[in-house]
Homo-oligomer: A and B are copies of this chain.
Amino acid sequence: MAGNSLGKEFVVTTFGESHGKIVGVLIDGCPAGLSISEEDFQEELDQRIPAQPKIVSARIEKDTAKILSGVFNGKTTGAPIAITVDNKEIMSIDYDKIRDLPRPGHCDYPACVRYGGFNDYRGGGRFSGRVTVALVMAGVIAKKLLNRYNIDVLAYTVSIGKVKSEKKFSSAVEIRKNRSIAATRCPDLVCAEKMEEAIVAAKNMGDSIGGIVECVAFNVPAGVGEPLFDALDADLAKALFGVSAVKGVEFGTGFAAVEMFGSQNNDEFTVKDGKVETVTNNAGGIFGGISSGMPITMRVAIKPTPSISREQKTINLLTMENVTLNVNGRHDPCVVPKAVPAIEAVAAVTLVDHLIRAGHITRVFFEDKNNNSKKERL
């Protein structure tokens, strides 16, 4: 059983359901001495709800983080950190009438089998995208840690349906700035507008649409990762498939590498400013499960939201008859924008875990020379 935890040394466990009291996260293994306040989470929690209401569901999830444990005098103590957000706007009434009618594309049916029908079915319950709020909060802490080591993790939309951005960006700063502007989280602002149109078009048809999210981690040092089964890419993939609606993950050239020759796909080494680099980065910064020092690049396929307002065929689990289903309620016609921070978060969490395991992130973190820790006074 179990299965709600991610990581081995920096262990992130989420809890809570879409329509329960709270959604929460418990982080065990965070180094002591990191400054954390409840305000630190607000920007990311706000950004999870894109500014553009046209492309999201009607549910307004203004979330505020409550730190329950593990932080003392504004700094992490090394003890487990529990953080929750309340679920406010809950309309469970929507879901009761479809309780026995599993929604196509959702995990209502497998979850019912798995949990003997005891699972909280309201709004997807434990399997709702709502739960990614917990990931985002873990990601805030992970990224705070990574920033101390100058490591930058950045996810953004590169395609929505058939609209693809091919634009290359010269800097993380530009990506981040543009991403915050576009409701679709695509930093190619020309493309972003077409993506919005595609989402609105799908919505108007009572339909939904998917997309691809790219995630890049800059400045991860070479030599991070384990051989074979705890390979850095293996653990990143595991974490990414833990995000709702993910159906594919690739690193570097990924599936496109299949049609390349070895001589094209191999990344030749070179010395630049006394540092080892590769001329290209088709491997996406990972060879044999271990980081090369180049940016780690991954692309994640997000399926179209299963919740659509068009009539669909399903069955009644009580009567075992074929029926038709009309799902009302609030749906996101495209979950890609909301997947962006979740993907960034799980990538950051996995990197922190591996950086701790590799000895790059230490158990205690002293932020400044003037801190009043006992150790420094010793």
Contacts and interface: CB of A to CB of B under 8 A. Distances in A.
A312 B266 contact: yes
Given A3-B226, A15-B70, A247-B255, 9 more contacts: A1-B28, A15-B26, A21-B68, A77-B115, A77-B126, A208-B261, A237-B238, A249-B249, A317-B374
Interface centre among A24, A162, A266, A358 (most CB of B within 10 A): A266
A107 interface: yes
Contacts of A205: 261
How many copies the complex holds: the figure is 4
A255 B212 CA distance: 8
A61 interface: no
A294 B251 CA distance: 28
Interface string A94-110: 00000110101111011
Interface size class of A (residues with CB under 8 A): 35 or more
A321 interface: yes
B159 A258 contact: yes
A249 B228 contact: no
B357 A359 contact: no
A370 to B, nearest CB: 14
A264 B17 CA distance: 28
A2 B68 contact: no
B313 A269 contact: yes
Interface string A11-26: 1011111001111101
Interface string A198-229: 00001001011111100000000011111111
Contacts of A165: none
27 contacts: A2-B9, A3-B226, A5-B28, A15-B81, A21-B69, A26-B26, A33-B115, A78-B227, A104-B267, A105-B262, A110-B225, A112-B375, A114-B363, A118-B373, A210-B260, A228-B242, A248-B249, A254-B301, A255-B255, A257-B301, A257-B303, A257-B304, A263-B310, A265-B304, A268-B312, A269-B314, A276-B320
